[in-house]
A and B are shown apart, each in its own frame.
Chain A
């Protein structure tokens, strides 16, 4: 059942990604070159909608959060590495498969590279655990906890910031 749910969810997500044209190299590099912010609009709209829905359902006791640990070393070093590779590849892990679905088969090289990167990470994991991942480990923490705010106050602040960014991007025609 979980497998069918995963496949169905993926198919719908794939259609939405393709319709919004966000799985293309030109769009991803467009954002990184600050020329075309389509992927940022897509991503932040998805986050805004999901944030409201998830926190509503959580208040009703219907869903649980699944927060990843904050590790300054992991997210800063790993995040920078991801960014470097992302700009070279021009797709991210999920969108690379979507890009192949659209016929952009240069993404296949990126997927093969990704398997190698994942395998190399598995080799280096014990080393990373005792070094980078241990630097600044704050555990599973959310912004409302970090700033000591009620989650709907924090969500409202996030929403205002995102909407202001959308307004700015539309004004600039990006």
Chain B
């Protein structure tokens, strides 16, 4: 299944370097990796512009905004992922303006609408689940397992159980 892809790095090497980066981040900044809380922050900041009183009354938003009412380390971290990927993709010529992923196109056709609706619904369910679980593959997966947290192991296993079942349903017999 694997195709040659010039310019790509071994996942073992890039993974080990990412692990080292996490260690340095914990040491220097005292910060473990995480991404899904930034979605809570952005959602709260957007909602604040239309219904500030409602946001102020929600204990979940206030849990984060009381610590920091604006953007924080993690928000900048997630912005950095976008910028780092953008620089890297452009520097190596692997930037490609793609409306629909290859394997999706083979299975469901080139329609960007169908892909967009599925991605939107998937994103909503995924983030709701991540916040209920207390984290995503960064917070629970990387940071949790690196600390041998029982919660991280349980969450990561459940991420894969849910994902394997739905992927099987989507790509039946392929």
Contacts and interface: CB of A to CB of B under 8 A. Distances in A.
Contact of B83 (A5, A14, A95): A14
Nearest to A120: B128
Nearest to B159: A83
Interface string B136-170: 11111111111111111111111111111111101
B12 A166 contact: yes
A92 B137 contact: yes
Contacts of A54: 22-23, 26, 146-147
Given A16-B21, A18-B85, A115 B43 contact: yes
A113 B127 contact: yes
Contacts of A141: 149-151
B99 interface: yes
Given A11-B83, A89-B123, A33 B168 contact: yes
B75 A6 contact: yes
A132 B9 CA distance: 41
A77 B155 CA distance: 9
A98 B63 CA distance: 27
Nearest to B29: A5
8 closest cross-chain pairs (CB), A and B: A10-B80, A83-B162, A14-B84, A79-B158, A49-B19, A113-B123, A81-B129, A85-B126
Interface string B24-50: 111111111101101110111011000
Contacts, number: 527
B125 to A, nearest CB: 3
Considering residues B18, B89, B148, B152, which has the most beta carbons from chain A within 10 angstroms of its beta carbon?
Answer: B148
A79 B47 CA distance: 26
Contact of A93 (B60, B126, B157, B163): B126
A117 B134 contact: no
B165 to A, nearest CB: 8
B132 A78 contact: yes
Say which size band chain A's interface belongs to: 35 or more
A32 B15 contact: no
A76 B128 CA distance: 13
B46 A117 contact: no
A80 B161 contact: yes
A92 B22 CA distance: 18
B82 A7 contact: no
B171 A101 contact: no
Contact of A67 (B59, B118, B149, B174): B149
Nearest to A24: B101
Contacts of B78: 10, 93-94, 97
B81 A101 contact: yes
Given A3-B72, A21-B11, A62-B27, 8 more contacts: A9-B80, A13-B18, A19-B8, A26-B102, A47-B146, A63-B30, A79-B159, A80-B129
Interface in A128-162: 128, 132-133, 138, 140-146, 151, 154-155, 158
A5 B129 contact: no
B103 interface: yes
B126 A14 contact: no
Contacts of A50: 18-20, 22-23, 142-143, 146
